[in-house]
Amino acid sequence: MMHSQLFPKTLKEASRDAVAANHKLLVRGGFMDQLMAGSWTLLPLGWRVVGKINNIIRAEMNATGGQELALPLLHSKEIWNETGRWESAADIMYTLKDSREREYALSFTHEEIIMDLIRKHVSSYKDLPIKIYQFSTKFRQELRATGGILRGREFLMKDMYSAHESEEDLMAYYEEVKQAYLKIFARLGLEVIVTEASGGVFTDKHTHEFQVLAESGEDTIYYCSECKQGQNKEVLSVAEGDKCPWCSLGKVVVGKSIEVGNIFPLGTKYATDMKAFFTDKNGKQQPFWFGSYGIGPTRVLGTLVEVHHDEKGILWPKEVAPFAAHLVGLKDAGEVYEELQSAGIEVLYDDSDRSAGEKFADADLLGIPVRLVVSAKTGDKIEWKDRNSDETRLMTRPEVVSALSTI
Amino acid sequence: MMHSQLFPKTLKEASRDAVAANHKLLVRGGFMDQLMAGSWTLLPLGWRVVGKINNIIRAEMNATGGQELALPLLHSKEIWNETGRWESAADIMYTLKDSREREYALSFTHEEIIMDLIRKHVSSYKDLPIKIYQFSTKFRQELRATGGILRGREFLMKDMYSAHESEEDLMAYYEEVKQAYLKIFARLGLEVIVTEASGGVFTDKHTHEFQVLAESGEDTIYYCSECKQGQNKEVLSVAEGDKCPWCSLGKVVVGKSIEVGNIFPLGTKYATDMKAFFTDKNGKQQPFWFGSYGIGPTRVLGTLVEVHHDEKGILWPKEVAPFAAHLVGLKDAGEVYEELQSAGIEVLYDDSDRSAGEKFADADLLGIPVRLVVSAKTGDKIEWKDRNSDETRLMTRPEVVSALSTI
C-alpha cells in the first residue's frame, strides 16, 4: 500500500487521557480511533492486524475440528431467563425494548443461543461431539472503560462451544483446546500463564484463564515462573514464596496481568436448565456436556502492543504485523515497491514528500518488522533495518526479495 | 468436509410459516436457523456461502481503492442528533439506555460515525478522496420480518463511504462504484436492474438501487427489459408500456423485485450538519462531498436461492457454492476424497450409511454444482452429474480432478 492512500495518517499526540501504551501508540499510529469511552473503531491498519490474529485463531480452531458460523447479537429476554442469567448477568448486559415493549439483551456471550441450536438439531449421541465457533461483536456495560482497547463496552470475541456425550469426552476436548490456545498464543508472540480461576457468571466450576504479564494488566495472579502455571485470587490456594505445587521446581510469585483467553468446562447445567437432551447408546435421555472457549482478538491487539513496544513505537511480531516491510523512499522507490509487490510481499511504501526524520519516526511508530530505505546514498542497493535493532546493512534487490520471502 | 462432521444435518421439513423459497430451502439444507422472527443464525454451510459472497465484494471494493475497517455498533444519542436522525429514523432504530440512563442507538447505518472519523482526521484536500468500507451487523426494527433472510431485524451489510473535495470527484467515484457493483452481481450470478429511487432516511437526492426480479421480492419497479434500467414507485416518471426513455429500444414493464444493493450520492448535507470541513486548494474551508454504498450479503444469500432453485433444492452458482463438489460414497470413497482434497478442491464427502435415495435427495437440496458418485456400479470410475442437468457420465479420477481444477 502507498502511504498516500493510507487513512488516516499518524498523529503527533494521542489524547491526554491516554495512559496505557496500547492506547497511546495504536491511536498515534492510526490503528484505532475512539468513538466514545470504551468504544473503538478499528482503522484499516488495526483491522489488518486483527485479520491476521483472527486467521491464526481460525486455523487452530479448525485443526481441532471446529466449524465457523455466525450467531445473532440481539437475544430475547425469554431465552436468557431459561438459565436465570437475565437476572444474574443484569449488571453487565445491555438490555432494550422494541416499539412493542418486548425486551431484548445485547449479547455478551452465546451459551444459551448455542444450546437452543443444539436442542433443535441434535437428538442422538451419533451426532456428537459438536464444535462450533464464531468471531463476533460482544457488548458489556463497563463503568470503567479504561486501558485503551483492553477493556471496552463493545469488543471482538472468538467464542467456541462444544457439546459432548460424556464428561470424559468434554474434558478430553477441553484439554485439546487448552493445547490449541497455547499454540495460538505462541504464534501470536505472547507468552501466557495458564491460570486457574472461578467461572464468574458462566459456571460454578473452576476454569482456566490465559494471562499475559504486563504493566497495564488489571488482574493479579500467583504463578510459577518455571512452569508458567498459576491461580487468580478467587481460587487462591498458594501464597507468594511457596514452592510451586505444579512442577515443584519454581517458586510462586505475584504479577499484574491481562486475561487474553479463557476456557470453561460448563458441565450439564446449561443443558439441564434448557431441557436439552440426547439419546445415548443405551436409549436413555441425557443432558449434553457443554464447554465454551473464548479469545478476544481486539484485546490481543492491545496486549501485543503492551508487551512489544519501546519509547519510539510498536514492535509487531512478524506473524501479525500489518505489513512485512516498510519501504521508505527518500528518492523515487516506485520500482522497488512494484518488485516487492509482484513477489507477493506485503509492503507499505512511504511515497510522501516529508523529511527523512518524519518518515523514520513514522516507521518506528508503526512498528513494521523491517524498514527498507532507498535514497541517493544507497545507490542501487537498499538499506535494511530490523525494527528491533539499530544495525543497518546494504543489500541488493534480489537479496531483499529473497530475505522477505522466507519470513 | 465429511458429512459426519457437518452440523447440523438436513431437515425433512422447514417450519409451517416458511413461505419464501430461501426460507424453506436454507432451513431444510442446514444453511441457517431461525432464533426468533427476523433473526437468523448462519450455520456453517450458510456461513461458507456468505464468506464467498463477501470475498467477491471485498475484491471489487479493493479494486476501486477501498480500505476495510470496522466501526462500533453502539452509538450515542448525541452523534445521531447532529444530523437529526435520532428523530427522523426513530421508527427503524433500536435505542437503549445504560445503567446511568445515557441513551444509545444500535447502528442501522454509519454515515454519522464515518463523518466524525473524517472530521477528526482529515483537514486538507491533499488527504482526499477517502474510500472506506466494512462488513458488519446492522439492526433495524422490523414489524414484518418475513421472507426468510430477505428482511431481518439484524443482518449483515457491506457499507462503503467515500469523501471528496468536489461534486465532480464524488460523482466520478459514484459511477465507478456503480460499475463495480455490476461486476459484483455478475460474479455472484445475479442479474440486476439499476433502478432510480428516493433516498429514504439517507438523502433527499435521487439514488440508485440494484434490483433482482424474483417472486418473493417486496419492491415494485418499472424497468426496460432491454437495457435493464428502471425506476421505483417513489420517483416514477414512466408508465407501463412506455417506450424506454433510457435506451429507446425496449418498453417499460413492471416487476416485483428484491433490492440487493444501493448507492447514495449524499452531497454536502452530512458534512454541513456535522461541521466537517477541509481546506481546499485555495485555502478556503469546504464541506466534504460524501457518498455511501451498501450491499447486504445475507440478503444476497437469500436472493441467490430465490432465483436459483428448483422443486428439489438449491442450485448455487459456482463462485459462491459452499463446496465445488459433493462426493456421494455408496461404497468407501475415502481415497477419492483424499485425492480431491490434496488437489485443493473443496469437497463435501457423504460418508454416512444412509440409502442412496437419501444421499441423492440431500445432494439436490444442498445444491453443490457437481455431484460425484462412487459405487459398486461405477467400478474404478466416478459418476459425474451437474446439479442443473439430469445427464450423468463416467469419468476417470484424473479427468474429475482436472475438470474440477479448471472451475
Q: Could you tell me if B343 lies within 8 Å of chain A, comparing CB atoms?
A: no
Return the higher-pLDDT residue of A137 and B234: A137
Peptide bond into A129 cis (omega under 30): yes
Shortest CB distance from A99 goes to which of B73, B139, B141? B141
Mutation target for A interface from B12, B34, B36, B149: give the one with most A CBs within 10 A: B36
A347 in Cβ contact with A340 (< 8 Å): yes
Q: Could you tell me if A43 lies within 8 Å of chain B, comparing CB atoms?
A: yes
Cα–Cα distance between B375 and B372 in angstroms, integer? 10
Cβ neighbourhood burial of A403 (10 Å; 0-12, 13-18, 19+): middle
Cα–Cα distance between A193 and B156 in angstroms, integer? 37
Give chain A positions within 8 Å (CB) of B94. 74, 96, 98, 104
Q: How far is CA A74 from CA A157, A185, B358, in A?
A: 16, 30, 36
Contact between chains at A43 and B68 (C-beta distance less than 8 A): no
Cα–Cα distance between A66 and A173 in angstroms, integer? 11
Give chain A positions within 8 Å (CB) of B8. 117, 121-122, 127
Q: Could you tell me if A407 lies within 8 Å of chain B, comparing CB atoms?
A: no
Phi then psi dihedrals of residue A181, to 5 deg:
-65, -40
Shortest CB distance from A73 goes to which of B6, B132, B137? B137
Shortest CB distance from A74 goes to which of B39, B79, B121? B39
Residues B346-368 have a mean pLDDT of: 97
The pLDDT, as a whole number, for residue A269 is 96
B226 has pLDDT over 70: yes
Q: Could you tell me if A130 lies within 8 Å of chain B, comparing CB atoms?
A: yes
Q: Could you tell me if B67 lies within 8 Å of chain A, comparing CB atoms?
A: yes
SS3 content of chain A, % helix, strand, coil (to 5): 30, 30, 35
Give chain B positions within 8 Å (CB) of A74. 39, 94, 106, 139, 153-154
In angstroms, the first-to-last Cα distance of chain A is: 19
* Packing angle of the helix pair B397-405, B334-342 (nearest 10 deg): 40
User: What would the grid cell of residue B62 be?
Assistant: 479493493
Shortest CB distance from A39 goes to which of B5, B47, B72? B72
Interfacial B residues in 155-174 facing A (CB < 8 Å): 156
- In which element (H, E) is residue A39 found? strand A39-42
Q: Which domains does chain A have, with CATH numbers?
A: 3-310 (3.30.930.10), 323-405 (3.40.50.800)
ipTM score assigned to the predicted complex: 0.97
Mean pLDDT (chain A, rounded):
96
Q: How far is CA B135 from CA B61, B159, B293, in A?
A: 11, 7, 12
The pLDDT, as a whole number, for residue A213 is 97
Residues A372-391 have a mean pLDDT of: 97
Distance from CA of B96 to the nearest CA of A (A): 5
Give chain A positions within 8 Å (CB) of B40. 72
**A387 closest CA partner among A215, A189, A212, A213:** A189
User: What would the grid cell of residue B132 be?
Assistant: 472506506
- HSE at residue A185, side-chain half, CA atoms within 13 A, is 25
Cell numbers 461404497 correspond to what residue? B331
Distance from CA of A40 to the nearest CA of B (A): 6
User: What would the grid cell of residue A323 be?
Assistant: 505489513
The pLDDT, as a whole number, for residue A167 is 96
Residue of chain B nearest A27, judged by CA positions: B121
A382 has pLDDT over 90: yes
3-state secondary structure chain B: CEHHHCCCCCCCCCCCCCCCHHHHHHHHCCCEEEEECCEEEECHHHHHHHHHHHHHHHHHHHHCCCEECECCCEEEHHHHHCCCHHHHCCCCCCEEECCCCCEEEECCCCHHHHHHHHHHHCCEHHHCCEEEEEEEEEECCCCCCCCHHHCCCEEEEEEEEEEECCHHHHHHHHHHHHHHHHHHHHHHCCCCEEEEEEECCCEEEEEEEEEEECCCCCEEEEEECCCCEEEEHHHCCCCCCCECCCCCCCEEEEEEEEEEEEEEEEECHHHHHCCCEEECCCCCEEECEEEEEEECHHHHHHHHHHHCEECCEECCCHHHCCCCEEEEECCCCHHHHHHHHHCCCCEEEECCCCCHHHHHHHHHHHCCCEEEEECCCCCCCEEEEECCCCCEEEECHHHHHHHHHCC
DSSP helix/strand/coil, A344: coil
The pLDDT, as a whole number, for residue B104 is 98
Give chain A positions within 8 Å (CB) of B297. none
The pLDDT, as a whole number, for residue B407 is 64
DSSP helix/strand/coil, A179: helix
Strand partners, B96: A96, B104
Residues B70-93 have a mean pLDDT of: 97
Residues B122-147 have a mean pLDDT of: 93
Residues A269-273 have a mean pLDDT of: 97
Give chain A positions within 8 Å (CB) of B121. 7-9, 30, 33
Cα–Cα distance between B322 and B258 in angstroms, integer? 23
Contact between chains at B44 and A5 (C-beta distance less than 8 A): no
- pLDDT (tens digit per residue) in A126-155: 999 999 999 999 999 987 777 999 999 999
The pLDDT, as a whole number, for residue A296 is 98
A378 in Cβ contact with A394 (< 8 Å): yes
Distance from CA of A115 to the nearest CA of B (A): 11
Q: Could you tell me if A402 lies within 8 Å of chain B, comparing CB atoms?
A: no
Q: Could you tell me if B132 lies within 8 Å of chain A, comparing CB atoms?
A: yes
DSSP helix/strand/coil, A106: strand
Contact between chains at A71 and B41 (C-beta distance less than 8 A): yes
A308 has pLDDT over 90: yes
A407 has pLDDT over 70: no
Residues in chain B: 407
The pLDDT, as a whole number, for residue A257 is 96
B193 in Cβ contact with B221 (< 8 Å): yes
Cα–Cα distance between B286 and B172 in angstroms, integer? 19
Give chain A positions within 8 Å (CB) of B76. 36
User: What would the grid cell of residue A151 be?
Assistant: 477493556
B78 has pLDDT over 80: yes
The pLDDT, as a whole number, for residue B215 is 87
Shortest CB distance from A117 goes to which of B41, B69, B116? B41
pTM value?
0.97
Interfacial B residues in 354-373 facing A (CB < 8 Å): none
Residues B373-391 have a mean pLDDT of: 97
DSSP helix/strand/coil, A160: strand
Residues A161-188 have a mean pLDDT of: 98
Q: Could you tell me if B5 lies within 8 Å of chain A, comparing CB atoms?
A: yes
Cα–Cα distance between B302 and B304 in angstroms, integer? 5
Contact between chains at B96 and A91 (C-beta distance less than 8 A): no
Residue of chain A nearest B62, judged by CA positions: A1
DSSP strand pairing (A325-329 vs A347-350): parallel
Q: Could you tell me if A68 lies within 8 Å of chain B, comparing CB atoms?
A: yes
Residues B171-188 as b or e (16 or more Cβ within 10 Å = b): eebbeebeebbbebbebb
Contact between chains at A8 and B121 (C-beta distance less than 8 A): yes
Q: How far is CA A357 from CA A354, A363, A376, in A?
A: 8, 10, 15
User: What would the grid cell of residue B126 be?
Assistant: 491533499
Q: Could you tell me if B253 lies within 8 Å of chain A, comparing CB atoms?
A: no
Q: How far is CA A223 from the centre of its chain?
A: 22
Contact between chains at A41 and B130 (C-beta distance less than 8 A): no
- pLDDT (tens digit per residue) in A211-250: 999 988 999 999 999 999 999 988 999 999 999 999 999 9
Interfacial A residues in 12-41 facing B (CB < 8 Å): 30, 33, 35-36, 39-41
- In which element (H, E) is residue A307 found? helix A297-307
Contact between chains at A47 and B68 (C-beta distance less than 8 A): yes
